[in-house]
Amino acid sequence: MNNRLDSLKDKSKKHLVIYLMAGDPDFKTTEELIYSLAKSGVSAIELGVPFSDPVADGPTIQRSGERALANKITIKDVLGLVSKVREKVSTPIVFMLYYNLIYSYGTGNFVDDCVKAGVDGVIVPDLPYDEEKEFYNHSINKGFYIIYLVSPTNTTDRMKKIVEKSRGFVYYILLKGVTGAQKKLSSDFEFLAKIRKCSKIPVFAGFGISTPAQSAEVAKHADGVIIGSAYVGIIEQYGSKKKQLLLESGKFINKFLKTQTKNIKEKQ
């Protein structure tokens, strides 16, 4: 059983993962953005499914979710979207959503339908690794990857258990708080180094990265970076002007990709 997320094990580059909310500003634009992201060479796409009560998200992603909810986007819609883009796109795609949506859909059906549609894994910020065993076991059986998050506040003991259960990659939360671009990043890179030592799979860092310079700095310490709110901010800014949005999205991604490559060269 091959999972597209296994491609992230490639250590020849620092990976860039981009988050966007399905259905913001509208469904058609999300589809076009996915094509353009895949083409630009990001390592994976994190696709948000909107939820009414996103406790781990800051204002930017909250607003994005509200716009998507106003478009009445459901899990079924987003699964349909992934099926469609899978005809052209082989970039790994993971869902990011809150557990009530999965529970309401039915955990077994959710995993099966994700695999069928070509979704490779899922990030659930309010689901700890040690709850909901059935969902976990079913995912393992179907080769569907649950990506768990590690926080700088976790004990080493718990961190080790999370890393052991995570598949595809480990998501390191760079800062205490919610998602959202920060002007300054003060992160516990020592803990990050410890996580990488324990982990057989890549460790990506996210939360708070807003500029290519910050991203490059973080990439020195991680296998890859995850950009969410900063990118969603572009979508918010140009949402209604589609052509310009695609243009600006492309520019944004290139800036991040460039510094990332440069960073690797410096290290070599």
Partner 1 sequence: MALPNSKGFFGSYGGKFAPETLRTLVDDLEKEYRKAQKDPAFKKELDYYLKYYVGRPTPLYRADRLSKRFNNAKIYLKREDLNHTGAHKINNTMGQILLARRMGKTRIIAETGAGQHGVATATVAAMFGMECEVYMGEEDTRRQALNVFRMQLLGTKVIPVKSGTRTLKDAMNEATRDWLKNVDNTFYIIGSVAGFHPYPEMVRDFQSVIGKETRKQILKAEGKLPDYILACVGGGSNAMGIFYPFLNDKKVKLIGIEAGGLGINTDKHSATLTKGRTGVLHGSKTYVLQDKNGQISETHSISAGLDYPGVGPEHSYLKDSGRVKYDYVVDNEAADACIMLSKEEGIIPALESSHAVAYLEKMKLSKKDLVIVNISGRGDKDMGTIMEYVNKK
Q: CA nearest 176: which of 144, 150, 140?
A: 150
- Collapsed DSSP state (helix, strand, coil) of residue 8: helix
* Total interface residues for partner 1 by CB under 8 A: 39
Q: Are 158 and 120 in contact (CB under 8 A)?
A: no
Contact status: 110 vs partner 1 (CB under 8 A) = no
DSSP letter, residue 225: E
Task: Specify the residue, 35 or 129, whose C-beta has the smaller distance to partner 1.
Answer: 129
Supply the minimum distance, in Å, between the C-beta of residue 1 and partner 1: 28
- 223: which DSSP letter? S
6, 31, 57, 248: the catalytic one is: 57
How near is the Cβ of 5 to partner 1 at its closest, in Å? 20
Residue 23 Cβ vs partner 1, minimum distance, rounded to whole Å: 13
Tell which phi-psi region holds residue 118, choosing left (phi > 0), alpha (psi between -120 and 50) or beta. Answer: left
50 vs 212, which CB is nearer to partner 1? 50
Active site includes 46?
yes
Examine residue 131 and tell whether it contacts partner 1 (CB under 8 A).
yes
Residue 117 to residue 105: CA distance in whole angstroms = 15
Among 158, 161, 242, 262, binds partner 1 (CB under 8 A): 158
Q: Does 164 sit near partner 1 (CB under 8 A)?
A: no
Tell the smallest beta-carbon distance from residue 111 to partner 1 (Å). 16
Q: How many CB atoms are closer than 10 A to CB 55?
A: 10
Cα–Cα distance between 21 and 144 in angstroms, integer?
Answer: 21
Point out which span in 37-45, 54-62, 133-141, 257-265 binds partner 1 (CB under 8 A): 54-62
Catalytic residue among 24, 46, 223, 236: 46
The residue among 146 and 173 lying less far from partner 1, judged by its C-beta, is: 173
Instruction: Quickly list DSSP for 156-202.
Output: HHHHHHHHHH--S-EEEE-SSS-S---SS----HHHHHHHHHH-SS-
Residues binding partner 1 (CB under 8 A) = 51-56, 58-59, 62, 66, 69, 74-75, 99-105, 125-128, 131, 148-155, 158, 162, 173, 176-178
Which residues are catalytic, by number? 46, 57
